Amino acid sequence: MEMVKADPLVAHLNELCDLYSSIFPEAMVGVAIYDDSYRLRNSAGLIMFPAVVPLSRHPVEDTPVMGECSGRALAMVRMATGAEQGAIYFAVCAAEPISEEVLVRLCKMGSGFVARTLDLLEQASVSQQLFREQKAIMDNMSDGLLVLDRFGVLRYLNAPGGRMLGVDPKKNIGREFREVIDFEPFITPIFATKKGYVDRELQIRSSRLNLHILDTAVPIIDEEGTVVSIVNTFHEIARAKRLSNRMAGDLARYHFTDIIGRSSKLTQAVAIAKRAANSDANVLLYGESGTGKEVFAQSIHNESKRAGSSFVAVNCAALPRDLIESELFGYSPGSFTGADKAGRLGRFELAAGGTIFLDEISEMPLDVQAKLLRVLQERQVTRIGGATSIALDVRVIAAANRDLTEMVAKKAFREDLFYRLNVLRIDLPSLRERPDDIELLIDQCVQRTCTLLHRSLIELGPAVIHTLRHYSWPGNVRQLQNVIERLVNMTDGDHVAEMPHGWLTDERPDMSVPLASDASESILTLAESERRTIIGALRAFDNNVTRTASALGITRPTLYKKLKQYNTDV
């Protein structure tokens, strides 16, 4: 057992010696504490102890050692308590003539009292340490924690809870909770129902607060069945969403430094994007497929004041028409057949405090466009099947590879939504418009791919560079990256002299499929001709749906419908 700190220990032992002497006035008692060199460190009581005690003369045992003190009989015992470092001795000196037997008995009794006192002191010390550790944990946990007693008095509130509720714990613990907050306490009914809950979603609105929290309340019930207190933990849903997005990898990883190129059109686009990062206005990115619209969107987000919050990307063309509304805006429990019983957060809620990137916004159905417009105007969202509007703080960046002004003229895109989105417009140049950047991009792609494959850098010969520089790149930077990755993966040595034959296709290759030459074969139907044309286009573009749809002059959703219609897999 470790020795308790000397000052509190001596104070307790002096009180014990006084008590013992009052019970047995025929004896004087004392306690001595020696260090590990057996030199006297502290003492209590009335006995004068020697400055040094030899260990060999006083082994740890129950039987006291007899001696003298100022000519009077003395019984002294070395106690096991504290023996690992130094020693503690208890001694009884006869104040009046008493027998040795009585003196020994008094010594044994006294040493027992001292041992129990030291044990209690150490237990108290351990309890105090545990209390300090538990309080440190509660004060530094990320969730809010409060304890309310049966009288409605706030018994405990940690710092995160105080921050969320706008309450100073130091000033308000011990006060009635209703006097501290300006909203109706949401846990007080539990004192009557005796039933708590786990992860209940709550919206708290008051003159000072607008909180959207996930709340858990646990009643503490005594032996008589009475709720004596309620332990309440809660955290902001926005924080849970950020964690969810982080776990799902839904974070922006690109920065402006990742945008490679020196052409005037690209540097102009980057300059406008950096200006957009200093604003919270909506942004509309225009550019062909593969020009890096999401890279720009993430860079704007990471340069903005929202950089530490969520970046949620939504491809409007990839979402099925019947699911796009629930994906964007979420739904309440039991809203429709097959819905999750717990409901579901929409992408806008997941992006709370951050940025939502709506890619291929031109493919969004008109009815969903109307609901999106309302969300942007009202800055709040209502889940499908829900009755409560949830306030939003979200920055919107949209992207399109089709001319929205033309779509507005054809009534294919809402004019009011277009103006709501088109506050800051950024036009991204195609790779054809910046040929001088191609070699920079090639070098960057080669270096990155070789690093990922843990191989030495490969060198592209002049003929390869010439071919790559003069290709039209219908798939833009994305296609260039694909070609370079294939080259690195398919090259055994460290040098590529020529471009492999057939790797680069024309923008509009011959996608026709020969008709039957045999006159006995029936003429193809229009549907069969369309099916063969689509298959030929897919082959020409290596099953790339975006490029195939662009070459055929149709949208990606239309192409997917055709593939499903003709029972064709990509």
| Residue 327 counted as domain residue | yes
Using CA atoms, how far apart are residues 226 and 174, in angstroms rounded to an integer? 21
> How far apart are alpha carbons 345 and 329 in whole angstroms?
7
553 in a domain, yes or no? Answer: no
Q: What CATH number is attached to the domain comprising 117?
A: 3.30.450.40
On whether residue 477 sits in a domain, the answer given is yes
According to DSSP, residue 9 is labeled: H
pTM over 0.85: no
User: Where do the H-state alpha helices sit in 354-470?
Assistant: 366-378, 404-409, 415-421, 438-452, 462-469
Domain final residue pick, 71, 104, 137: 137
274 and 416 co-located in one domain: yes
Of 408, 427, 446, the residue that ends a domain is 427
Instruction: Describe the crossing of helices 264-277 and 293-303 by its angle, rounded to 10 degrees.
Output: 40
- 91: number of Cβ within 10 Å: 27
Evaluate whether residue 530 is within a structural domain: no
Cα torsion 488, 493, 494, 500: sign: negative
Place of tokens 């089709």: 402
- Residue 407 and residue 421 in contact, taking contact as beta carbons nearer than 8 Å: no
C-alpha span between 47 and 40 (Å, rounded): 13
- Sole residue written with tokens 């809402």: 414
In a domain, 268, yes or no: yes
DSSP state of 39: B
Cα(254)–Cα(163) distance, rounded to whole angstroms? 33
Classify burial at 77, counting beta carbons within 10 Å of its beta carbon; exposed 0-12, middle 13-18, buried 19 or more.
buried
Tell me whether residue 49 is in a domain.
yes
Same domain, 278 and 415: yes
**Residue 364: how many other CB atoms lie within 10 Å:** 24
Looking at the structure of the chain, the number of domains it has is 4
331 lies in some domain: yes
Are 338 and 360 part of one and the same domain? yes
Same-domain check for residues 130 and 170: no
Cα separation of 116 and 400, whole Å? 80
Domain boundary among 427, 452, 482: 427
Residues 132 and 170 in one domain: no
Q: In this structure, what are the phi and psi dihedrals at residue 289, rounded to the nearest 5 degrees?
A: -60, 130
Spell out the per-residue pLDDT of the chain, length 570, in tens: 444 444 566 777 787 788 777 767 777 888 888 777 778 878 888 787 777 766 545 555 567 778 777 777 888 887 765 545 567 888 888 877 778 888 888 888 878 777 777 777 777 767 677 667 667 777 777 788 888 998 989 988 988 889 888 889 889 988 998 888 877 778 888 999 999 888 787 878 777 777 778 888 888 888 888 999 998 889 887 666 555 555 444 567 899 999 999 999 999 999 999 999 999 999 999 999 999 999 999 999 999 999 888 899 999 988 888 788 888 988 887 677 666 666 778 889 888 889 999 999 999 999 999 999 999 999 998 888 887 888 889 999 999 999 999 999 999 999 999 999 999 999 999 999 999 999 999 999 999 999 888 888 899 999 999 999 888 888 899 999 989 998 888 888 888 888 887 787 654 444 444 444 443 344 456 667 677 778 877 776 777 787 787 777 677 777 888 888 877 776
Q: Which residues pair with 91 in a beta bridge?
A: 30, 76
What DSSP assignment string belongs to 540-559? HTTT-HHHHHHHHT--HHHH
Domain residues for the domain of 188 are 141-240
Q: 427: how many CB neighbours lie within 10 A of its CB?
A: 13
Per-position b or e across 132-164, b if 16+ CB within 10 A of its CB:
eeeeeebeeeebbbbbbbeeebbebbbbbbbeb
d(CA 289, CA 480): 12
CATH code of 447's domain = 1.10.8.60
| 472 part of a folded domain | yes
How many Å from the N-terminal Cα to the C-terminal Cα in the chain? Answer: 74
Q: What residue has token string 């001595």?
A: 32
Domain check: are 278 and 403 in the same one?
A: yes
CB 251 within 8 A of CB 311: yes
**Residues 304, 420 within the same domain:** yes
CATH number (domain holding residue 337): 3.40.50.300
Q: Are residues 261 and 232 in the same domain?
A: no
